[in-house]
Every structure is written in structure tokens, then in C-alpha cells.
């Protein structure tokens, strides 16, 4: 086979793979959006519920006040959540650059959560929700769930896995 024919065949091979990757990505996006919409049926929208609580660090958290300054990422997670183990490092990174409030859902006593955070080397601020009262108020039934709150309004909600780029884009465009 001539070099020219081989080059054309290789190019068609790469284009085929690229086409399949693009189709797979589009299908994944459509499925992800559909799952978010289905899971989000019970989640609050519009004005964010009040979240005034003391964090595990002893700091007072006033979400509405914080969101009037700049958008806040609110992350509902749990120590027992498998998907959270892949999302939490991204939230920890985002917390170095943006306001982040996390809510540990049904994860036990503060001492246990602090041990977990130390073991994972997470520095994000945590509000403990041992009986799920805060999560019920927000309509959260799936972990992880991420809200973006801007000026007291919910501008974005996503459930399940999300990437650091996805979080950043939601914060940037809120």
C-alpha cells in the first residue's frame, strides 16, 4: 500500500474515533442533564433557604449574607458517599478561590467528621447535618448535590459527579 493511501486510511481511523468520542460525549451530557432534572424534582429553586449555622470550625455561617458579596458554592455531601470521594477534592480546590459552604449529611458526630476531613486533608468549611434537617429543608435526597447561590437566589443545582471545571463555570456564570 502506498504511503498516501495509508495516510488517508489513518486519518479516517482518527476521524472515526473522534466522531465516536463526540457522540459518546453528547450522549453522556444528555443523560446527565436528564438525571439532574429527574433528581431535582424535590430540590428547592428560586430563593435559597436560610442557612444560619455554626461550622465545625466554630465560625458562624450566614449563607444569604455571604451570597450578597459573591456567589457561594453549597455542597451537600456525606462521609459514606462513594461519589463524594471523587467530588470533594474538587470542592476543596474551589474553596481556595471561592466561597464554599459544605453540609455533611448524616455523617455522624462532629469529632468523626473532623477525623475524616483530617484524614483526607480537606480544608473546606463544614456544617454538620446529623439528622438531615438542613438537607430536608433544601429538598436534597442525593449526595453529592451542589447549589450555587448568588444574592440569595439559587442560580444552579447539580447532583452526582461534577468536575472542577463544571463547578467553576457554574460559579463564573452565576
| 84-130 confidence digits (pLDDT tens) | 999 999 999 999 999 999 999 999 999 999 999 999 999 999 999 99
Residue pLDDT, tens place only, 15-35: 777 788 888 777 766 666 665
Do strands 72-77 and 99-105 pair parallel, antiparallel, or not at all (unpaired)? parallel
Instruction: Check whether residue 35 and residue 53 sit in a common domain.
Output: no
- State yes or no: pLDDT of 42 exceeds 60: no
Are residues 85 and 160 part of one domain? yes
Whether residue 122 sits in one domain with residue 103 = yes
Same domain, 78 and 111: yes
Query: Coil, helix or strand for 72?
Result: strand
Its pTM stands at 0.77
Distance CA 99, CA 138 (A): 19
Q: Buried b vs exposed e over 43-68: b needs ≥16 C-beta within 10 Å?
A: beeeebeebebebbeeeebebbebbe
Domain that holds residue 24: 3-40
Please check whether residues 79 and 124 belong to one and the same domain. Answer: yes
Give the HSE-up count for residue 66: Cα atoms under 13 Å, Cβ half-sphere. 20
pLDDT of residue 131: 93
State residue 99 phi and psi, 5-degree precision.
-75, 130
Is there a single domain that holds both residue 80 and residue 151?
yes
Amino acid at each position: 500500500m502506498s504511503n498516501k493511501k495509508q495516510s488517508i486510511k489513518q486519518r479516517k481511523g482518527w476521524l472515526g474515533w473522534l466522531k465516536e468520542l463526540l457522540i459518546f460525549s453528547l450522549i453522556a451530557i444528555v443523560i446527565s442533564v436528564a438525571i439532574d432534572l429527574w433528581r431535582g424534582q424535590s430540590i428547592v429553586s428560586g430563593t435559597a433557604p436560610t442557612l444560619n449555622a455554626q461550622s465545625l470550625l466554630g465560625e458562624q455561617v450566614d449563607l444569604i449574607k455571604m451570597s450578597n458579596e459573591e456567589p457561594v458554592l453549597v455542597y451537600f455531601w456525606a462521609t459514606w458517599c462513594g461519589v463524594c470521594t471523587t467530588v470533594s477534592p474538587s470542592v476543596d480546590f474551589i474553596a481556595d478561590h471561592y466561597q464554599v459552604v459544605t453540609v455533611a449529611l448524616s455523617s455522624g458526630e462532629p469529632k468523626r467528621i473532623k477525623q475524616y476531613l483530617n484524614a483526607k486533608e480537606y480544608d473546606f468549611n463544614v456544617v454538620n447535618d446529623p439528622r438531615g434537617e438542613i438537607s430536608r429543608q433544601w429538598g436534597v435526597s442525593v449526595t453529592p448535590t451542589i447549589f450555587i447561590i448568588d444574592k440569595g437566589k439559587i442560580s444552579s443545582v447539580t447532583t452526582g459527579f461534577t468536575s472542577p471545571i463544571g463547578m467553576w463555570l457554574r460559579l463564573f456564570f452565576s
